[in-house]
Amino acid sequence: MIQSTIDYVKSELKNAEGGHDWWHIYRVWKIAKQIAASEPVDHQVVELGALLHDIADSKFHDGDETIGPRKATEFLTSIGVEQNTIDHVILIIQNISFGGGNFEKKFHSPELAVVQDADRLDALGAIGIARTFNYGGFKNRAIYDPNIPPDLNMTKAEYKKSTAPTINHFYEKLLLLKDKMNTPTGKKMAEQRHQFMEMYLDQFYQEWEGKL
């Protein structure tokens, strides 16, 4: 079942943007399994949720949040996964997103907590920095503009439509994630990655002003 899902995801995301491709899924899946080893969770739900969480990311489908759950449902049904497992995986897909962070989630489960931590960890540290600039380039955004400050009070809709410089994303999402981790393992891993990003930003601003 897991191998069939891996094969499906690889096929579906073969032409995906570099920060949301198979290798993003691979890293989230690996981290999720690592976190799950210390949590009382359904490991099958965790693995399927991690592998399918970005099967059709809404930001690449005109904001449509129904495509991912629909594709995941069709696939899981086709390989004979039990309905209660499918339902749980779909709830993970529907509730994993940060989306600006300024709204209340309607679903919580230990399995979602694990997959969400794994996904957020891939948005932090060296990988997170690389993904952020890759996506910024994909959207043709400015790297940095001192005249455009970060907006920490965006609604979910505003967050999805933002065209702000890439550096702003550190403040609008990445640096907020450390304090939003769910599990002890996730929190510990986030600390080191968070510190690396802070060091990077300090270096970035000094280089921007020609001080280094």
For 4-43, how does the pLDDT look when each residue is reduced to its tens digit (9 = 90+)? 999 999 999 998 888 899 999 999 999 999 999 999 999 9
Helix (H, G, I), strand (E, B) or coil at 202: helix
Question: Which domains are present in the chain?
Answer: 2-208 (1.10.3210.50)
pTM over 0.85: yes
For 67-83, how does the pLDDT look when each residue is reduced to its tens digit (9 = 90+)? 999 999 999 999 999 99
Distances (CA, A) of 105 to 94, 109, 162: 10, 11, 21
Q: What is the pLDDT of residue 60?
A: 61
The whole-angstrom distance between residue 165's C-alpha and the CA centroid of its chain comes to 19
Question: CA–CA separation, 162 vs 140, rounded Å?
Answer: 12
Q: What is the pLDDT of residue 100?
A: 47
